[in-house]
Structure 1
Amino acid sequence: MIRKLAVALLLSCSVAAASAADAPDVRLGSQSVLVVEDGTGKVLVEKNSTAIVPIASLTKLMTAMVVLDAKLDMEEQISIDQQDVDVLKHSTSRVPVGATLSRGEVLQLALMSSDNRAAASLARTFPGGPAAFKAAVDRKIRALGMAQTRIAEPTGLSPANTSTAADLVKMATAAAAYPDITRITTDTREVINVKGRSVEYHNTNRLVGAKGWDIGLSKTGYTEEAGRCLIMRIKAAGKNATMVLLNARANSARIMDALNIRRFITGDEGRATTSRVARSAPASLIKASAGRMKVSKVSNGRKKAAPSKKPRRRRAD
């Protein structure tokens, strides 16, 4: 018996050593990362994938699945109520109280533009109200085997909404099976009639629609506690992969991580590094958002930061 245990221990050590030796040299700014090859489940990149952390607006993928599972009328009109206003983080919204939209349009705004009022209204108008919505979310979490996930409310504003990169790969895989979710999250923009005027809304993920990117699912997230987060399913070099990036310090770091990972998947220049990404990324996709700094100039392949003229209120991400 002791001999068998010793052999098993040696084998496990050998596997761990091999995994460490084969680990890709990908420098990542996100604190938790998991990239998995779709279909096979092969782990391509991993960093702190079991750490339980706040997930911000990545929550809205779960909100969308629960709403769609209920097979509610997408043409039913929903009025944005004062109850839907964010009183926790006081985030801004371009959906005014009193606006009446179809449930399908509200879902579009919750997913593509990550609007918190829209997400809150989906839970409020769920059959049985917020309590029934929360119960449906809990059932969905259990059904997907997301044992390390807790979701307290539909927007992601609460730091009580927590999960791991490993659990969120399961959520992303499930969400990708919903045509409405994949369509909405990969739209670059949408014009919606709000109180009699046409308002243009944009995708919060700047990589959607960017040259060279084939994205099948996307969702961003941001709160102070969660940092910058991102879920994407991408196709690169004939490979399909799901990536989860959690707690990057800035939007630029989140984008550079995604670029680095794609370069690693495609085998571009062997090994990807953050410095290579900084030199090759389009200027329009690299905008520092840490503190009150923004990228203003590119010189000799390096970004020079300059103070922004005035602070901006953060919108949902």
Structure 2
Amino acid sequence: MKRKNRLLLFTLVFTLIFSTTVLAAVNPPELIGKAAISVDMDTNEIIYTKNIDNKMYPASITKLITALLLAENKKSTDNLNYTKTAKEQPSYSYNLNVQPVAIGDTMSADNVMDGLLLYSGNDIAYMIADNVGQNPTNFAKMMNDKATNLGMKGSHFITPNGLDDKNDQHYTTAYDLTLLGRAAYKNDWVKKSMGKKTSIIKSANGVEATVQNRNKLLGIEGNIGGKTGYTEKAGRCLVSIYERNGRHIIGVVMNSENDAKDTKVFEDMKKLIDFSYGAKKEVLNKKATEIKTISVPYKVIPFIGPEKTIDVPLESKEDVTFYKNDVAPQSSAKVSLTNAWKLNKKTSVGTLLFKQKDAEKSYKLYPMISKSALIKDNIIIYAAAAIVLIVVLALIVLLISSINRRKNRHSRGMRFK
């Protein structure tokens, strides 16, 4: 009896542990960050959302767009001048916190990129602004033009380094940062730089210095790049790009806790990414079930008439799925079927376009009936038509027979004369 009780208890405990694990993998995570999002970079599908369109301050994540403009306007072997506005920047700056740099000294663009993305040098960002845009004002215009080009509709940039203590007009959204992060990943130079854990850089007249990437998750569980950020207004921010089993997901966490050990934002990101890789889609429309019905005109007897309409239910051969989140899915159908006599269950007659923000997926639509349905719907008419046709043919035969008999009688009468 005791053995049975122990076995029952063991089974119950095992079930509870397993159920808890499953629920932890399925339920969306509770994050400290006030805004967050994850997106499948291969399909553009949004997986997790939290205040993704709220106005937020990006802090040093701004440097991703600064890096893009550097990569698009300079070669890695070009030399950039260290400028007065760069020298005036506060900590954390390469000049103040790593190695002093004199105004007019030069640094290779490759070293500049690493100083920007790994060490996150505030002065390095202004160095880029002056060398690429001639001055910070012109560079800000370039930043905003680039943001527009990327579809970042909720963003506005003023400073190349993201410092926001003097203004409230330097902002973005969690969703917009997924667009920026994906663009950064697609640029080979930026991708290579933000994927480095350390780099040795120097100015022409300075000494070598090793800078370390501030992204504490880099190289762990598939983290292949990203950018950190912090100001008092912005809180701790992080963009991270992951690759696991060939699948790429980008995560954004904004305004997380500024704890003394600087761990909370990274814990938020780990929760977000682990959930995102385990998240399952929900079925909006099951395959082989009616999605939409259209009315198609046709002539009961082709080319002659009369004209009628038939309701044609449409289906998809695959499930229409999406990740359940705060972005309401939108769908629209485009159908091109003008001749009901061409109905074929195996021939697509249109597409269903499914959208969540910029993520789009199309599904082929197929009729759930074939042209045989037209015959079935009009069987009485066709039967009546067949009877009429038979009667007409019979009358024609009788008429022809009658004419022939008359001719025969007439011929015999002529012979007797």
User: Does TM, normalized by the shorter one, top 0.5?
Assistant: yes
> 1:116 aligned to 2:127?
no
> 1:29 aligned to 2:39?
no
1:220-240 per-residue CA deviation (whole Å, 9 max, x = no partner) reads: 111111011111110235532
Secondary structure of 2:208's counterpart equals: strand
Amino acid at match of 2:198: R
Does the C-alpha gap of structure 1 residues 177 and 85 become closer, same or farther in structure 2, counting only changes over 3 Å? same
2:64 to 42, 61, 65: 61
Does the C-alpha gap of structure 1 residues 171 and 203 become closer, same or farther in structure 2, counting only changes over 3 Å? same
CA–CA separation in structure 1 for the residues paired with 2:134 and 2:181 = 26
Does the C-alpha gap of structure 1 residues 193 and 68 become closer, same or farther in structure 2, counting only changes over 3 Å? closer
Amino acid at match of 2:53: T
Q: Is the 8 A contact 1:54 1:160 kept in 2?
A: no
Does the C-alpha gap of structure 1 residues 29 and 129 become closer, same or farther in structure 2, counting only changes over 3 Å? same
Query: How does 1:3-82 map onto structure 2 within 5 Å?
Result: 24-70=27-73, 72-82=74-84
CA–CA separation in structure 2 for the residues paired with 1:253 and 1:104 = 31
CA-based RMSD of the aligned residues comes to 2.2
Work out the percentage of aligned pairs sharing the same amino acid. Answer: 25
Where structure 1 has 5 or more consecutive residues not aligned to the other structure, the ranges are 1-21, 269-317
Please state how far the C-alpha of 1:266 moved relative to its aligned partner: 4.0
Q: Is the 8 A contact 1:234 1:241 kept in 2?
A: yes
> 1:185 aligned to 2:194?
yes
2:147 to 141, 161, 173: 141
Residue matched to 2:179: 170
> 1:254 aligned to 2:265?
yes
Please state how far the C-alpha of 1:138 moved relative to its aligned partner: 1.8
Residue matched to 2:305: none
Please state how far the C-alpha of 1:127 moved relative to its aligned partner: 4.7
Residue matched to 1:208: 218
Point out the more displaced range, 42-51 or 259-268: 259-268
Secondary structure of 2:227's counterpart equals: strand
Amino acid at match of 1:197: V
1:152-185 per-residue CA deviation (whole Å, 9 max, x = no partner) reads: 0100112532000011111111111101111100
CA–CA separation in structure 1 for the residues paired with 2:272 and 2:116 = 27
CA–CA separation in structure 2 for the residues paired with 1:209 and 1:111 = 16
Amino acid at match of 1:193: K
CA–CA separation in structure 1 for the residues paired with 2:206 and 2:109 = 17
Does the C-alpha gap of structure 1 residues 37 and 129 become closer, same or farther in structure 2, counting only changes over 3 Å? same
Please state how far the C-alpha of 1:92 moved relative to its aligned partner: 4.5
Q: Is the 8 A contact 2:174 2:254 kept in 1?
A: yes
Does the C-alpha gap of structure 1 residues 209 and 266 become closer, same or farther in structure 2, counting only changes over 3 Å? same
2:209 to 189, 199, 203: 199
CA–CA separation in structure 2 for the residues paired with 1:222 and 1:230 = 9
The structure that has the greater radius of gyration is 2
1:53-107 per-residue CA deviation (whole Å, 9 max, x = no partner) reads: 110011111111112222x2432323323321355x5544324231531122111
1:231 to 234, 239, 264: 239
Amino acid at match of 2:173: T
Secondary structure of 1:235's counterpart equals: strand
TM-score normalised according to structure 2 size: 0.55
CA–CA separation in structure 2 for the residues paired with 1:229 and 1:236 = 23
1:97 to 81, 101, 108: 101
CA–CA separation in structure 1 for the residues paired with 2:131 and 2:68 = 15
CA–CA separation in structure 2 for the residues paired with 1:240 and 1:76 = 32
Residue matched to 1:16: none
Residue matched to 2:86: 84
1:174-216 per-residue CA deviation (whole Å, 9 max, x = no partner) reads: 1111011111001000112344422110001011133xx2233
Q: Is the 8 A contact 1:230 1:244 kept in 2?
A: yes
CA–CA separation in structure 1 for the residues paired with 2:267 and 2:233 = 21
TM-score normalised according to structure 1 size: 0.71
Does the C-alpha gap of structure 1 residues 157 and 33 become closer, same or farther in structure 2, counting only changes over 3 Å? same
